[in-house]
Amino acid sequence: MNAMHRQSSSTQTALPVQTDALIALSFLEGFSDELESTLDIIAANAHLRMVVHLLRGHFEARTITPTSLIGASHVPYATATRRLKDMIDNGLIEQRPRTKSGKTFSMHPSDKLLEQWMQLSGRLRRLAETEFGGAAQTEEAQDYYFGGSYKAAQSIPPLRVLPEPLKLPGGLKVLVHSDPTFMVMDRLKRQFEQVIGTDISQRAFSIDRLRDEALRNSERATSRYDIIAVDLPWIGEFATKNVLMPLDQVMDVNQLDPADFHTAGWKATHWGARAYAVPAQTTPELLFYRRDMFAQAGLEPPATTDKLLEAAKQLHAPQRGRYGIAWNAARGTALGHTVLMTLADFGQPVLDLPAIAGGFDTDHLAKGGYRATIDTEAGLRAAEFLLDLLRYSPPDILSMSWYERIRPYAEGSIAMAYGYTLLAPYFELDESSPAHGQTAYLPHPAGPGGSQIAPVGGYVMGIPANLASDRIPAAVEALRVFTSPEAQKLYVQNGSRTNARYSVGSDPDVRRTSSIFEVMDAMSWRDKLQFWPRPPVPEIGGIIQICGEEFHDMLRGITSPRDALRMAQSRADALIRSNGTP
């Protein structure tokens, strides 16, 4: 696996262990113990005790049985049994069969109970801040009587278990990318297993190996995986090569609530007007910069490439072990992505896409007829900009890729870095990082002829086209669970800094975790999130590789910018012709 995955374990201890809901449960449990042990007249509240036990089990992915609920009630068996029946009759508890005979059940909180509990836990936290917070009350606590409690009531509830376990012999098998968000999913495996009622086996690969494995899997008689993760630019290739099945073939796509997904992320899942996957993590590439360093130097946040170079030059101090900027410059896939995004910064898509309001149109790509547009005047300006960046970069920049560009930024030796939001946990969750609490986020600074945008990246999840037919219904249901607002909120609360849905980004619990989500939503509403910089044509992987090779030779001084552009254009043209694109 890639370096980012090898290092991901270093951030695990920094991940939050308890959400507001769990903290409120702990408080009520402890408070009940104190009341009952201190005041003899206070009897145990069986309903409350069982609710706390049931919810804690749900959040911690433990199986709760009727017997354990009765034992947690702190009242006689007969009384507890009646109280348990009351809760079932009132729709607060759902029972799921644990065996084929249906004679034993596991107990789970219903949607009604989860919604009521989330409202209570939010009000409880704000009430405590209001009464005990004193002068240090948060802005949200001060807003309690001015609509804050109403907004918190709109919080996305926790995941609920499926009424019936998914029927998947051998469990659910998932192929994913080895990035921080999917590693969060892996750490939450027990909780998701409880939700869907079956074991989950997850294989994680680096980006290039993930693509290779997905293509190999498509050649097998029957898929080894029920769900596979797909990088956004691969959609066209995977659709035309029959790697993924179109979603409308196996489900009602409207059940996913498409309008809730960030527009760019949802549109990027389509090929030929059909959706082939569901956004699992939408993560724009932004410019991370150190607010404290900028303030100390009297610099404004850079909106243009010229201002970016000026800031990088002023903050570049190699003699003190500090460098102006880091970016993806490793040969091949990593640098290739940088080249395409830099072309976009100068207003030049890598293909001859027609211009539309806010960017360029990709809806026609499935019809063919496109050509590469690399060797252009805008391409030359982009190439020269990358050479200028090289002057203010670390000495090992030409071997830096996804994780390597963020690690030194998190350690404090880099003033700015281009990076996907999914990598922000490396400094946002590490209080020892000099960048912790000092990082601000911007869309890409624009060059002449371009405008500020945030190129959208991330992964979507789809159903393999060769999945056995008897596994498809369960795989579709698992796909819905993994990409639901409830699941995506859970990822964020456990360290992810990606988000595919508007509802999750506006959730008050999510907003408290990081400023990234407010920034990302604002960019989406202003149409700054765009996926056209990496158009999802079948040849895009090859074009990225070509650019990553030719521009690497340029950065090493082996070729000139014009030669690099000419060679990349020629090779991209040949690739499109050889692919038989009409």
Instruction: Give me the CATH number covering residue 67.
Output: 1.10.10.10
195 and 130 fall within a common domain: no
**Strand, coil or helix: what is 573?**
helix
Distance in angstroms (rounded) separating the CA atoms of residues 356 and 497: 30
Residues in contact with 12: Cβ distance below 8 Å, sequence separation at least 6, in sequence order: 187
Whether residue 519 is contained in a domain is answered as: no
Mode of pairing for the β-strands spanning 414-420 and 323-326: parallel
Whether residue 163 is contained in a domain is answered as: no
269 and 330 fall within a common domain: no
Whether residue 166 is contained in a domain is answered as: no
Convert 147-193 into a string of H (helix), E (strand) and C (coil). CHHHHHHCCCCCCCCCCCCCCCCCCEEEEEECCHHHHHHHHCHHHHH
Distance in angstroms (rounded) separating the CA atoms of residues 172 and 484: 17
Tell me, what's the pLDDT at 170?
94
462 and 393 fall within a common domain: no
Whether residue 114 is contained in a domain is answered as: yes
Are 192 and 185 in contact by the 8 Å Cβ rule? The answer is yes
* 371 backbone φψ class: left, alpha, beta (φ>0; ψ -120 to 50): beta
307 and 408 fall within a common domain: yes
Are 375 and 339 in contact by the 8 Å Cβ rule? The answer is no
467 and 547 fall within a common domain: no
446 and 469 fall within a common domain: no
Residue 73 CB-half CA count within 13 A: 21
235 and 332 fall within a common domain: no
Q: Which of 153, 185, 219 is the last residue of a domain?
A: 153
Tell me, what's the pLDDT at 256?
93
Distance in angstroms (rounded) separating the CA atoms of residues 34 and 83: 22
How far is residue 574 from each of residues 36, 357, 464, measured CA to CA in Å? 79, 31, 30
Whether residue 164 is contained in a domain is answered as: no
Query: Phi, psi at residue 114, to the nearest 5°?
Result: -60, -45
Q: What CATH number should be reported for the domain holding residue 193?
A: 3.40.190.10
Distance in angstroms (rounded) separating the CA atoms of residues 506 and 517: 8
127 and 262 fall within a common domain: no
DSSP-derived secondary structure letter, 470: G
Q: Which of 91, 119, 153 is the last residue of a domain?
A: 153
Q: 238: closest CA among 229, 251, 249?
A: 229
Mode of pairing for the β-strands spanning 454-462 and 227-231: antiparallel
Whether residue 158 is contained in a domain is answered as: no
Q: 408: closest CA among 7, 5, 16, 1?
A: 7
Tell me, what's the pLDDT at 269?
95
135 and 236 fall within a common domain: no
Q: Which two tokens stand for residue 377?
A: 């005047």
Q: Which two tokens stand for residue 340?
A: 């395409």
Strands, DSSP E only, in 69-156? 93-97, 105-109
Are 416 and 289 in contact by the 8 Å Cβ rule? The answer is yes
Tell me, what's the pLDDT at 538?
95
Domain count, the chain: 3
80 and 146 fall within a common domain: yes
Q: Which two tokens stand for residue 131?
A: 């009464």
CB atoms within 10 A of CB 127: 13
Are 514 and 546 in contact by the 8 Å Cβ rule? The answer is no
359 and 474 fall within a common domain: no
Domain that residue 408 falls in: 284-454+529-578
Whether residue 448 is contained in a domain is answered as: yes
Q: 258: closest CA among 284, 276, 278, 241?
A: 278
Entry field: residues in the chain: 582
373 and 478 fall within a common domain: no
Q: Please give the chain's pLDDT, 582 residues, in tens.
A: 343 333 333 333 333 334 556 677 777 777 777 777 777 777 788 888 888 888 888 776 677 888 888 888 888 888 888 888 888 888 888 888 776 666 788 888 887 887 777 767 766 766 766 666 544 444 444 443 333 333 343 688 888 889 889 999 999 999 999 888 888 888 899 999 999 999 999 999 999 999 999 999 999 999 999 999 999 999 999 999 999 999 999 999 999 999 899 989 999 999 999 999 999 999 999 999 999 999 999 999 999 999 999 999 999 999 999 999 999 999 999 999 999 999 999 999 999 999 988 789 999 999 999 999 999 999 999 999 999 999 999 999 999 998 999 999 999 999 999 999 999 999 999 999 999 999 999 999 999 999 999 999 999 999 999 999 999 999 999 999 999 999 999 999 999 999 999 999 989 889 989 999 999 988 988 889 999 999 999 999 999 999 999 999 999 999 999 999 999 999 999 999 998 755
Whether residue 4 is contained in a domain is answered as: no
Tell me, what's the pLDDT at 337?
97
Give the CA angle between residues 181, 184, 189 to the nearest 5°.
Answer: 130
Mode of pairing for the β-strands spanning 414-420 and 359-360: unpaired
